Amino acid sequence: MMRQRSVVILGSTGSIGTQALDVARAFPDLFHIQGLTGHNNVQLLAEQANEFKPPTLVVPSDEKKSELLSLLTYAPEVLVGESGLVQLMDVTMDILLVAIVGTAALPPVVAAIPKVSHIAIANKEVLVAAGSIIMDLVRKHQTRFIPVDSEHSALFQCLAAVDFNSESVKHVTLTASGGPFWQRDPNTFSSISASDALKHPNWDMGAKISIDSATMMNKGLEVIEAHHLFGVPFDDIHVVVHPKSIVHAFIETVDGAILAHMGRPDMRYPIQYAMTYPKRLSTPFQQAALTQLSGLEFFEPNRKAFPLLDLAIQCGRQGGVAPVVFNAANEVAVQLFLTGEISYLGIHATILGMLDYFSSSVASTIDDIIHLDHRVKTHRLSHQLTD
Ligand code: NDP
Ligand code: MG
């Protein structure tokens, strides 16, 4: 039997957050919810809070706090804003799950690393923007830092088979579904709408990552994420398109074995794994029979039609401010695309414009990175709104 674990979920109202609560519901004796946070969806946060009764909650503003208080059936502490998220990291907890989207998660993650011994990290943007500093902190404080992103959870499990010994590994491969457009004629990309792009073939995810999958930006961010999490050189991180999303990642060992991690595309497996690690507990979320997983195909990505994949890897290799600007510019561009202010092709154009504009910036500390990220997000050149 595992001892009960107290859990704080940053971003409990999102796709990952709600699935993490499914895992908590499935193991009521094991997980005790200590804190939850939401942003816009106060209604859902109130429902979750009334069900799990965590003693601390966080919302973005005093207005949201009043709204939340009017919906609660008990009296928790309600913290407010970014400082509230950082303050929440002082709560005694066994596990922190980071499921906020974007670099909004950076301040609480940095505050948590010295204090929380086990962090399950779903958010990838913080690793893209500040991966070197975060991983230095993780090593310094010996924090258990378990990836939730399915490919990275898969890599983590494959690398465990070689005791994380980099000398045993020739290269690692992340699979990409290819998103909704990998077979679409690139000449028609200019007419892609946000609702077309939000329809992911295999995964049901939040809006931002769904658009990132549709541009293959997501896989570029994941290459940088893998580089930081596992210390694998960029040259040794490969990407293949695997439309069924059954194999999540594989590693090739120096002695010629290919170790793959397979499973139905369901985020509750990597979430459960990250929350029960190092134990494996019998899951209520049923795996598919092997016969249903057959017919696995792998293809080279179309790097010309999806230029954000290589641009991400190039920014990751370059390091310094490039991934900070690139990531923030993408967050802005995705938002503009979702609100209809730029086209699908305008996402790439906007990012290129921002990279150019901010090319001479410098950022070496977390505070610098947060500041630069903010500058990029509040900066809108009028020519970037057109494509
Ligand atoms: P969602 O958009 O579904 O959820 C995001 C969560 O963050 C919500 O709880 C949202 O609150 C909250 N939030 C949004 N903006 C802010 C902000 N500025 N400050 C504080 N909280 C905020 O995202 P996902 O769950 O899809 O993704 C979360 C992270 O996990 C992302 O980094 C994504 O890349 C990563 N990930 C997601 C996967 C998935 O399957 N969904 C798979 C692998 C990785 P509210 O909804 O109340 O506004
Ligand atoms: Mg992923």
Lowest mean pLDDT among 139-153, 189-203, 268-282: 189-203
- Probe target for ligand 1 pocket from 12, 16, 79, with the most ligand atoms within 8 Å of CB: 16
Phi, psi at residue 235, to the nearest 5°? -60, -25
Phi, psi at residue 252, to the nearest 5°? -110, 125
Whole-structure pTM over 0.95, yes or no? Answer: yes
Q: Where are the beta strands (DSSP E) in the chain?
A: 5-10, 31-37, 56-59, 77-80, 95-98, 118-121, 144-147, 169-176, 237-241, 247-253, 258-262
Distance from residue 238's CA to the centre of ligand 2 (Å): 14
Pocket of ligand 1 contains residue 309 by CB under 6 Å: no
- Listed in sequence order, the residues at least 6 apart from 257 whose beta carbon sits closer than 8 Å to its beta carbon are none
Measure the CA–CA gap between 12 and 44, rounded to whole angstroms: 9
Q: Is pLDDT above 50 for 217?
A: yes
Lowest mean pLDDT among 13-22, 96-105, 279-288, 317-326: 279-288
Average pLDDT, stretch 148-154?
98
- Which residue minimizes the CA distance to atom 27 of ligand 1? 101
Ligand (nearest to CA of 212):
1
Q: Which domains does the chain have, with CATH numbers?
A: 5-147 (3.40.50.720), 154-267+288-306 (no CATH), 320-387 (no CATH)
**Which whole-number Å values give the CA distances from 12 to 59, 101, 130, in the listed order?**
11, 11, 23
How confident is the model over 4-44, as pLDDT tens digits? 999 999 999 999 999 999 999 999 999 999 999 999 999 99
Pocket of ligand 1 contains residue 38 by CB under 6 Å: yes
Measure the CA–CA gap between 174 and 239, rounded to whole angstroms: 5
Distance from residue 383's CA to the centre of ligand 2 (Å): 32
Measure the CA–CA gap between 151 and 267, rounded to whole angstroms: 10
**Which whole-number Å values give the CA distances from 147 to 55, 129, 137, 230, in the listed order?**
26, 16, 16, 10
How confident is the model over 295-311, as pLDDT tens digits? 899 999 999 999 999 99
**What's the mean per-residue pLDDT of the chain?**
96
Distance from residue 357's CA to the centre of ligand 2 (Å): 29
Pocket of ligand 1 contains residue 36 by CB under 6 Å: no
Q: Where are the beta strands (DSSP E) in 112-185?
A: 118-121, 144-147, 169-176
- The residue behind tokens 């202010």 is 341
Pocket of ligand 1 contains residue 147 by CB under 6 Å: no
Measure the CA–CA gap between 185 and 181, rounded to whole angstroms: 8
Average pLDDT, stretch 275-300?
91
- The residue behind tokens 């497996």 is 269
| pLDDT at residue 290 in the model | 83
The distance from CA 246 to its chain's CA centroid, rounded to whole angstroms, is 19
- Listed in sequence order, the residues at least 6 apart from 286 whose beta carbon sits closer than 8 Å to its beta carbon are none
Pocket of ligand 1 contains residue 248 by CB under 6 Å: no
Of 216, 19, 245, nearest to 151 by C-alpha is 245
Burial class (CB in 10 A: 0-12, 13-18, 19+), 349: middle
CA 227, 109, 337, 182 torsion-angle sign:
positive
Ligand 1 atom at minimal distance to the Cα of residue 267 = 40
- The residue behind tokens 């290269």 is 171
Measure the CA–CA gap between 99 and 87, rounded to whole angstroms: 17
Measure the CA–CA gap between 110 and 114, rounded to whole angstroms: 8
Pocket of ligand 1 contains residue 205 by CB under 6 Å: yes
CA 84, 89, 90, 96 torsion-angle sign:
positive
- Probe target for ligand 1 pocket from 57, 205, 248, with the most ligand atoms within 8 Å of CB: 205
DSSP 200-266: -SS----HHHHHHHHHTHHHHHHHHHHHHHH---GGGEEEEE-TT--EEEEEEETTS-EEEEE--S-
Where does the pLDDT of residue 381 fall: very low under 50, low under 70, confident under 90, or very high at 90 and above?
Answer: low
The amino acid at 284: P
